[in-house]
Structure 1
Amino acid sequence: MFKLFQKTPVISTKDLADKLEQSITLLDVRTPEEYRRGHIAKAVNYPLNKINRYQGKEKEVYVICQSGMRSKQAAKILKQKGYEATNVQGGMNRWQGPTRGGK
């Protein structure tokens, strides 16, 4: 079966908060400046313009940005590379949990 038009899986920020209790890979695809202003502690900054170079060992990744649009693009690119990428719906705009600034 051809999977070109497969929908990107999504997760709510509330469900993401529960997932963070486990060992997951969360990629923040915002710019380094946006990331420094405030990010989820477990998130690794991997800007959208570099996502095609991503080479993580884990197959399952969660992707977040500010609103959910860039992370959706990033998830599509990661899926083409063979990752099981899940987009965080609403991004940091909807995130209610703690954030940290800086790198």
Structure 2
Amino acid sequence: MKEITPKKIEQLLNSKDNLNIIDVRETEEVKAGKMPNAINIPLGLLEFRMHELDKAKEYIMVCRSGGRSFKGSQLLESHGFHVINMAGGMLEWEGPTE
């Protein structure tokens, strides 16, 4: 499974790359702030909302510390999706939030 650092994602966001970010934290956690343009699909609902995703796209998975996003990445990969896990999660994110 591929991994990416929060710093690298921040650089990609600054260069205006179109990133597909899925935040798998619970809705209450996301209220404190999420990465720009990230969509929130709590890990427990990911399996039931996979039909909303496009297998032609690459997704960056994010959570608080990297554990839940790792599990989410494994789930999506096992169903044929292209995913990258953000190592360290939002605890290491220093970029903008919304």
Both structures adopt the same fold (TM-score exceeding 0.5) = yes
Where does residue 11 of structure 2 map in the other structure? Answer: 18
Structure 1 gap segments, 5+ residues each: 1-7
Helix, strand or coil at the partner of 1:75: helix
Structure 2 gap segments, 5+ residues each: none
For residue 85 of structure 1, report the CA deviation from its aligned partner.
0.8
Residues 51-96 of structure 1, C-alpha deviation per residue, up to 9 Å, x if partnerless? Answer: 1122212431000000000000000000011111100000000000
- CA RMSD in angstroms, aligned pairs only: 1.0
List structure 1 runs of 4+ shifted beyond 3 angstroms.
Answer: none
When the two structures are superposed, what TM-score results if normalisation uses the length of structure 1? Answer: 0.85
Q: Which structure's residues are more often helix, by fraction?
A: 2
Helix, strand or coil at the partner of 1:99: coil
Residues 12-45 of structure 1, C-alpha deviation per residue, up to 9 Å, x if partnerless? Answer: 0011112222112100000000011111121100
When the two structures are superposed, what TM-score results if normalisation uses the length of structure 2? Answer: 0.89
- Percent of paired sites with the same residue: 32
Amino acid corresponding to residue 86 of structure 1 in structure 2: I
